[in-house]
Amino acid sequence: MDIWQLGLASQVEHVRTKAVSAEDVASAYFERIEAVDDRIGSYLRLDREGAMAQARMVDEQVRAGRDPGPLAGACIALKDIFVTKGVETTCGSKILEGFVPPYESTVSERLKAAGAVILGKANMDEFAMGSSTEHSAYRICRNPWDLDRVPGGSSGGSAAAVAAGLCGVAMGTDTGGSIRQPAALCGVTGLRPTYGRVSRYGMIAFASSLDQGGPMGRSAEDCALVLEAIAGRDPADSTSLDEPVGRYQEACRTGFKGMCVGIPKEYFREGLDPQVEAAVRRGIETLAANGATIKEVSLPHTEYAIAAYYIISPAEASSNLARYDGVRYGYRARDASDLMDMYCRSRAEGFGSEVKRRIMLGTYVLSAGYYDAYYGRAQKVRTLIADDFRKAFEDCDVMVTPTSPVTAFKLGSRMSDPLQMYLADMYTISCNLAGLTGMSIPCGMDGQGLPIGMQVLAPALGEERLFRVAAGYQRLTDWHRRWPEVAQAQEAE
Ligand code: GLN
């Protein structure tokens, strides 16, 4: 077995015990990326120099008998939403073309401090707005399981890189499902931590009350290892939680016996592909057959989640994106007649159509006269959704639902209809609105060989519960161990 086929935990163990050098692991990944990523498009940019320097440093520490850190030699793809000092960061947008940040995000800083090696910046929908990565201003990203289909989004590059074995673990962000939905469509494990569990410092803002970064990997264990290294209070982000970091790796070993799993009935209604439903129900049976109790629960306001989210998130985005005016960062229009003209043209030329749609929507719902009717009401709905979960979690420890109503759809098939695209998030959005934590784990394949994801939800700071269920389930099944054909292509050549 090649090093890239091993899980992250095992790769780190190899590096720590000198069985393999961090430099060799990183070189192996770069070779694979070169051989395979042309066909996928999971990376926007590689940082070979930075990665190799970091790998050499880890190897030196190992040789000197010093502790190289819990992520020694772990090769990571960072969604291009995390700013990286000295390495261009575009957030998938033309407006940030050429922006080389003068500082480092807390997430990437903590990863490196733990010995991780950042291979490069992963492809994404512009400003994380989208569910297919087709809104990337640079290149589309393809699903490694079927190159004519989308990887999901907005962290589609991160999910595809993990699925194709082009990194050990990837970092994504999840404002309305952007970690869990692409994880489901690409057959990988993705965790959206509780809002505030991981620092947002240096994570380019989309909707600040919903954004949260988290790991995407080949197993729950790999995600646990990474989360332990990046979670925790950060003085640079006042919304980061001052709560002790959980013992996520230990939770992975605990198992789910005796836990009560709630099944929200509103998540199994029209719009759900029968093959997805069947796979998720089989997953629930596996949990039941191995010591979990199953209980039907109700989240009565579920049907309003998408509407509320597509008011609140554009509202926040319209404010966050006001800073891209052609003056301070990235793209500036040429030949403007005056300052106002320069602002207008830079934004008109620099932003893509979906981002403009969100800015206009957001500006509208916040405007005097409409604020109460739209934004104010959406906030009330948000409270009702959070109350639904509070009540339902009195009767269960976690909930299990489908992650996405469908498997990976064809490239281009939803681009002309934004509403169709927004429906891809119908099961993931409530978690963000309610400030919960959620994970997607592979639980099957449809008739076309496309992965199906099962979502596990827990109350705020209930990450350990998710790891108990997910890792327990992954010990009983092998859906998370499969590789798409394209991942093996390097050998064939
Ligand atoms: N697909 C959703 C949107 O377009 C969620 C995006 C995200 O979580 N970043 O807003």
Q: What is the pLDDT of residues 5-64, one digit of tens each?
A: 999 999 999 999 999 999 999 999 999 999 999 999 999 999 999 999 999 999 999 999
Q: Give me the pLDDT at residue 490, please.
A: 65
What distance in Å separates the CA atoms of residue 175 and residue 429, rounded to the nearest whole number? Answer: 8
What distance in Å separates the CA atoms of residue 173 and residue 207, rounded to the nearest whole number? Answer: 11
Contact 355, 320 (CB under 8 A): no
Contact 424, 131 (CB under 8 A): yes
- Percentage of the chain with pLDDT > 90? 97
Catalytic residue among 108, 154, 199, 430: 154
Residue 155 CA: nearest ligand 1 atom is: 9
Report whether pLDDT(128) > 90: yes
User: Does 154 sit behind a cis peptide bond, omega within 30 degrees of 0 on the bond before it?
Assistant: yes
Span 267-287, mean pLDDT?
Answer: 96
Half-sphere CA count of 57, side-chain side, radius 13 A: 16
- The structural domains of the chain, with segments of one domain joined by +, span 3-301+383-492
Answer yes or no: is the C-beta of 178 below 6 A from any ligand 1 atom: yes
Report whether pLDDT(463) > 80: yes
Distance between first and last Cα of the chain: 17
Q: Give me the pLDDT at residue 1, please.
A: 81
Answer yes or no: is the C-beta of 213 below 6 A from any ligand 1 atom: no
Q: Give me the pLDDT at residue 171, please.
A: 98
What distance in Å separates the CA atoms of residue 108 and residue 488, rounded to the nearest whole number? Answer: 29
- In this structure, which topology does domain 3-301+383-492 adopt according to CATH? Amidase signature (AS) enzymes (3.90.1300)
Answer yes or no: is the C-beta of 442 below 6 A from any ligand 1 atom: no
Mean pLDDT of the chain: 97
Distance 173 CA to ligand 1 centre (A): 9
| 301 to 378, 406, 430, 459: CA distances (angstroms) | 12, 22, 9, 17
Distance 309 CA to ligand 1 centre (A): 9
Contact 331, 325 (CB under 8 A): no
Answer yes or no: is the C-beta of 133 below 6 A from any ligand 1 atom: no
Top mutation candidate among 131, 356, 429 for ligand 1, by most atoms within 8 Å of CB: 131
Distance 182 CA to ligand 1 centre (A): 11
Amino acid at 434: A
Report whether pLDDT(198) > 70: yes
Answer yes or no: is the C-beta of 105 below 6 A from any ligand 1 atom: no
Catalytic residue among 155, 178, 346, 430: 178
Report whether pLDDT(493) > 60: no
Q: Does the annotation mark 209 as catalytic?
A: no
- Closest among 55, 321, 330, 42 to 182, alpha carbons compared: 42
Q: Give me the pLDDT at residue 492, please.
A: 53
Answer yes or no: is the C-beta of 177 below 6 A from any ligand 1 atom: yes
Q: Does the annotation mark 85 as catalytic?
A: no
Residue 313 CA: nearest ligand 1 atom is: 10
Span 97-112, mean pLDDT?
Answer: 97
Residue 354 CA: nearest ligand 1 atom is: 4
Q: What is the pLDDT of residues 287-321, one digit of tens each?
A: 999 999 999 999 999 999 999 999 999 999 999 99
Contact 68, 16 (CB under 8 A): yes
| 73 to 68, 78, 188, 252: CA distances (angstroms) | 8, 15, 21, 22
Q: Does the annotation mark 178 as catalytic?
A: yes
Span 201-223, mean pLDDT?
Answer: 98
- The first and second tokens of residue 115, run together, are 């010995």
Answer yes or no: is the C-beta of 397 below 6 A from any ligand 1 atom: no
CA 449 centroid distance within chain: 22
Contact 223, 191 (CB under 8 A): yes
Report whether pLDDT(140) > 70: yes
Looking up tokens 């289909």, which residue turns up? 149
Answer yes or no: is the C-beta of 154 below 6 A from any ligand 1 atom: yes
- The first and second tokens of residue 92, run together, are 């998938």
